[in-house]
Amino acid sequence: MSNLQPPVPGSAPVQEGCTIMHVDMDAFFVSVELRKRPELRGKMVIVGHPEGRSVVLSASYEARAAGVRSAMPMATAMRMAPAAVVIPPTHGLYQQVSAQVMAVFHSITDTVEQLSVDEAFLDISGSLRRLGTPLEIGALIRRRIAAEVGITASVGIASSKFVAKVASTRCKPDGMLLIEKERTVEYLHTLPVGALWGVGAKTREVLARLGIFTVADVAATPVSSLQKALGTSGAALHALSWGIDPRPVTGEHREKSVGAEETFAEDTVSDEVLTRELLRLSHRVAGRLRESGLSGRTLALKIKYADFSTITRSKALGAGTDSAGQIYAGAVALLQALGRRPQSVRLIGVRMERLDAVDSAPLQFTLDPRDDNSRAAEVVGDAIAARFGSAKIVPARLLKPPPAP
């Protein structure tokens, strides 16, 4: 059912200046799976692996009503919604459907800023003469995605990216909402403070101690007070509370980081298990960097312990790299610098940040010839994988059975 938000009774919405859209698919992974299993529509559905230490990838709105959320441990989700149907993910299919969705967007406008597999900002200012008003274009997008892709989308329309994102969130699922430019502040000031970008649970706690619970409260608070409580983000939060977001929609999306992580089947304290997994993750990250023509200048290590507490450590590199050998060496150094671990490890991850195109960021090489040889072997492995599919070159250590946790 459509959740189209009506204008003020007796008046037509003023659409002038509302040329930015945020389009977001509704429970994307679930929606894609339900195309094959329509009999499950309206039921509690969870996409994820039901066994082991997996997490929820997506949940239907019926399951969300029971408290299930993305990234929640599957065991917790099943306690909350024991009657839910669990569907294992079909990752390749999601990329195919995402490409269909993005093709619809690009047929509407050339200015599409893709945020993830299932959402994007669109600047439709150049499409108005050809396709009609913002609301007409939004309705067209929703019809086409439903007809051509077989899933539903929610569309937020506003004069800025932040407000368009607010609009799409407030009209989910399967809805469309236009927030008039001249009434932006009026609308924002009716919302809870959590509607602002960057306000998560911890920030809400800090603001609550100051008596700030709504966007209007933020707007009425001096910037100096917000900065004292939140640091440099205080000024940005104050600007958003007044609907100020001058960022344009950028047609070319550049990844901000490339990473990979693994949750162990059993918690481990073994250095051998941890470093072996770091080697595998480093090769995965390096492969993705080379595939995208990118290199990273900052390396980050993520550790999640048995009690779900998480720490991250990072280090700046002398120059950009896409070498698994260098990423692995840096990750192991960060791991060793942590010293004695307070408890067993549940998850470990590697991420490369401060990305640049390879041709604009010289790769880091050292005087040790083994570094060049290592990267050369990785490039050869890329070529083999590209030609023969799953065939690839990996370190011999990864061919051995993993050691016990």
119 in active site: yes
230 and 361 share a domain? no
Q: Is the pLDDT of residue 345 over 70?
A: yes
Other beta carbons within 10 Å of 53: 16
Q: How far apart are the first and last CA of the chain?
A: 49
Catalytic, out of 33, 119, 277, 378: 119
Residue 382: inside a domain = yes
φ, ψ (nearest 5 deg) of residue 272 = -60, -45
Domain that holds residue 139: 95-185
Residue 19: inside a domain = no
CATH classification at residue 51 = 3.40.1170.60
pLDDT at 362: 43
Residue 20: inside a domain = no
**Do residues 140 and 37 touch, judged by C-beta distance below 8 A?**
no
170 and 203 share a domain? no
Give the span between the Cα atoms of 167 and 374, in whole angstroms: 49
195 and 312 share a domain? no
Residue 247: inside a domain = no
Written as six digits, the tokens of 132 are: 């009609």
275 and 310 share a domain? yes
340 and 358 share a domain? yes
Q: Is the pLDDT of residue 373 over 80?
A: no
The count of structural domains within the chain is 4
**For residue 170, how many C-alpha atoms fall within 13 Å in the half-sphere facing its CB?**
21
216 and 167 share a domain? no
Quote the strand ranges of 106-227, DSSP E: 112-116, 119-123, 153-158, 176-178
**Do residues 188 and 215 touch, judged by C-beta distance below 8 A?**
yes
- Cβ neighbors of 401 (< 8 A, separation 6 or more) are none
185, 204, 226 - which closes a domain:
185
Other beta carbons within 10 Å of 342: 11
Residue 377: inside a domain = yes
Q: What is the pLDDT of residues 123-180, one digit of tens each?
A: 999 999 999 999 999 999 999 999 999 999 999 999 999 999 999 999 999 999 999 9
CATH classification at residue 361 = 3.30.1490.100
Residue 199: inside a domain = yes
Q: What is the pLDDT of residues 316-327, one digit of tens each?
A: 887 788 899 999
pLDDT at 6: 44
73 and 167 share a domain? no
CA separation, residue 227 to residues 65, 137, 212, 222, 341 (Å): 36, 40, 14, 9, 35
**Do residues 343 and 307 touch, judged by C-beta distance below 8 A?**
yes
Residue 337: inside a domain = yes
Give the CA diameter of the chain. Answer: 76
232 and 319 share a domain? no
165 and 46 share a domain? no
Residue 10: inside a domain = no
pLDDT at 287: 87
